Amino acid sequence: MFRPPNPAGNSGPAQRVRRALLVEDDAATARVLARMLRAVGVAEVQHAADGAVGIGALESAERPFDIAFCDLNMPGEDGLVFLRRLASLAHQPAVVLMSGGDPLVLDAAERLARGHGLCVLGVAPKPLTPSTVTLLVERLHDAGRQARATVASPRPVLTPQDVERAMSEGRFEVWFQPQAHLASGLILGAEALLRLRHETSGIITAGAFMASAEKSNVIGRLTSLVLDRAAACSREIQARTGRPFRVAVNLSAATLSDVSHPDALTRVVREHGLSPSSVTFELTESMLAANEVATLEVVSRLRLAGFRLSIDDFGTGYASLDRLRQLPFHELKLDQTFVKGALHDRRSRLILENSLALATALRLSSVAEGVELQEQLDLVSSLGCELAQGYLIARPMPADALLATMADGAPARRSFRGGRRQAKAIWKYSAGSRRAHP
């Protein structure tokens, strides 16, 4: 479950983690864990026999605790109650969840803790090992460093008025994240991603402004902007390379509820002399739930126009299979939670395997998103996934960087290790040079 710590540049967790709280009803287990913590330099370790005692220790502490190890199943106040009460305290230590019981309950407890807004360093089956304890303490250091960076440079919160002003000032940009065809090693397409160049925060992602954009009157123009830039990029790459290059564009809920949009989107693509089949529209399951009659018409007309349709974040909605039956999709895009979880979680692995088997049986293309590790790429390749997208392949990059890489004759075909399904090369983008390089 845990990756080994990276010793490079590590001055030791003891310099940063001073106080630990062990919420554990078994005294022998608590003593062993306390010895492990002291061995990595944690100066003070306090034991609490159940959740109520643990909350009391936190409330009465003169100096705050840095980390709390919490067992789930305790005869007094259990770990789940402890997490709920911990969320209401002014100072909340980072949390490690541990249990010798059902791993599914442990996973559910992690989601619960994160739902309470707590910092969860990890979950661990009992008994914990010294290497696991060391890594967890080092994770606390990393979490603290990231939190300090966030405080130093917080992500701006944009209002609908901010979005409208940014649109009028031309500060929206379209970046692209390449997608690799796993059987051949070719970069055959990319997802178009909206970015905003902020006055003080630099380039910010759609998560900071999309909710406000949905509330403003510019969401339709933003969709057209992304499609226009994506179509232009695809047409240019095809002209330079002589190969098809497909672009994926996310559609908003507002677009799906407006029956006039299919004609407008078709015009944008045709103006660039591009076939609609070179564009894949990605739709999330939550979008498909609203205004079903209008959505069905819009989706069907997009399909009639020749566009490709992808169901994004497949498996995370409430009616995945029903939507797949009702609507004319070409592609399943597998949510990154299953891709990342499949290496260590049996249920995620089974969901990933069966989703890919379903795609194959229905003759749909498949895309694995969030591929960051070679092991993840190897896994989705072995399971028959068609395309992969993620930081292992390439980070998002501006259009000029993508064009330069494709046009310079940089090998679109990646080199492979140990067989054609194991990609070795990684594309990188240097923000300083504003171009990509292999």
What's residue 170's pLDDT? 93
Domain map of the chain by residue range?
Answer: 13-152, 160-437
What's residue 291's pLDDT? 58
Tell me whether residue 191 is one of the annotated catalytic residues.
Answer: no
In tens, the pLDDT along 384-428 reads: 999 999 989 999 999 999 988 786 544 444 433 323 333 333 444
Active-site residue (options: 138, 369, 375, 386) = 369
User: Can you name the CATH fold of 160-437?
Assistant: TIM Barrel (3.20.20)
Return the CATH superfamily for domain 13-152.
Response regulator (3.40.50.2300)
What's residue 154's pLDDT? 57
- Cβ-in-10-Å burial (0-12, 13-18, 19+) of 296 comes to middle
Domains 13-152 and 160-437 share a fold: no
What's residue 424's pLDDT? 39
Residues of the chain with pLDDT under 50: 1-15, 148-152, 319, 409-438
What's residue 422's pLDDT? 33
What's residue 286's pLDDT? 62
